[in-house]
Amino acid sequence: MLKVSLFVILAALLPLALAAPAQSEEMVLTPGGLRPKSSVIQIPEGGSINLTDTEVHLLDASKRVIHVSPRSDAKVRASPVTNATVPEQSGWISFAYWRRINFPIQNFFTTWVVPPTPATNHGQTIFLFNGLEPDTGDSILQPVLQWGPSVGGGGPFWQFATWYVAGATSFFTPLLDVSVGQSLQGIIQFTRKNADGTFNYVSEFAGSSGVALSNSPELTWAYETLEAYSVTTASDYPTGCTPFFGISISTVDGATAPVSWGITNDDFDGVHTYINVNGGSNGQVTTCYPL
């Protein structure tokens, strides 16, 4: 009788156990916002990324698949939010943008100088980058300068890495140290159009290894961006301005792209991006901080 009663009780409790929510997975910071930790993967030296119709494959230097993630149409850009510590916002704070007009983008080069160290440290993270996205907005290829912590590491100092964010999954190269005042050049290049109409790209910082991306949708949107998280006061930003200069964008027909930037600013907090020089040769946009 006791055995039967115990069985009945367990049977009754089973549906409740199955319905109970799983423990929430740890969320970690990336360019693009918080992601589940299991969905953020470091790219090994010489590694590359290959897209299929349904999956994202990470390959090692020998071209062996070492990680598989489902493809997702989740947007990669972290929208500014106002429920974070006020008055500052989080996400893409200020940026310049341009969409190619006729021919696909062949090369996208941008140079900038590592800014001063922020005067205060409240656990904030600052990302500065040039990047390319497809029309769908569900992925971005970006060489990123970082101050503060992210899933890749970091702290109260500047480091850089190349990131590829695809839907809910993020891939990054190991973070490398860089000094205040050092010049960096972020590079994104088209390398091949495949028979099925997909595109291959490579992204890196000049002088360091990056990542090759295969079978991607065409990357049509170019960005120069300041992204930030957990900023609580103006002094959490560097002082002055960060010019993105020497901007060069060419197209596959060999022409210099007719770049005319649009801008989005955080007027409330005094963070602004200015267009100094349009055009695809030696262009410049400048992001200025509140102080």
* 175 residue type, one letter: L
CATH number of the domain residue 117 falls in: 2.60.120
- Mean pLDDT for the stretch of residues 261-269: 90
133-166 as b/e, with b when 16 or more CB fall inside 10 Å?
A: bbeeebbbbbbbbbbbbbbbebeeebbbbbbbbb
54 sits in the region (left: phi over 0; alpha: psi -120 to 50; else beta) called: alpha
- Rounded Cα distance between 118 and 4, Å, is 68
At residue 23 the predicted structure's pLDDT band, cuts being 50, 70 and 90, is low
Range of the domain at 168: 24-76+89-288
The pLDDT tens digits of the residues spanning 205-238 come to 999 999 999 999 999 999 999 999 999 999 999 9
pLDDT in the model for residue 277: 99
> Does residue 14 fall inside a structural domain?
no
Backbone angles phi, psi at 13, to 5 degrees: -80, -20
Structural domains in the chain (count)? 1
For the chain, first and last CA: distance in Å? 77
Does residue 19 sit within a domain?
no
- Paired strand residues for 154: 149
Bridge partners of 6? none
Q: Give residue-wise pLDDT tens across range 190-210.
A: 999 999 999 999 999 999 999
Q: What is the pTM of this model?
A: 0.89
Residue 13 lies in a domain: no
In a domain, 196, yes or no: yes
Q: Is residue 11 part of a domain?
A: no
The answer to whether 278 and 257 have CB atoms below 8 angstroms apart is no
Given a cut of 80, whether residue 246 has pLDDT beyond it is yes
CA Rg value for the chain: 22
Q: Give residue 77's pLDDT band: very low, low, confident or very high (50, 70, 90).
A: low
Read off the DSSP letter of residue 5.
H
Residue 12 forms part of a structural domain = no
Residue 24: predicted pLDDT: 83
Query: Can you read off the two tokens belonging to residue 167?
Result: 């839907």
3-state DSSP helix/strand/coil % of the chain, to nearest 5 = 10, 50, 40
User: Which stretches within the chain are classed as H helix?
Assistant: 2-19
Whether 16 is covered by a domain: the verdict is no
Residues near 144 by Cβ (< 8 Å), separated by ≥ 6? 31, 127, 128, 129, 160, 161, 162, 163
Q: Is residue 10 part of a domain?
A: no
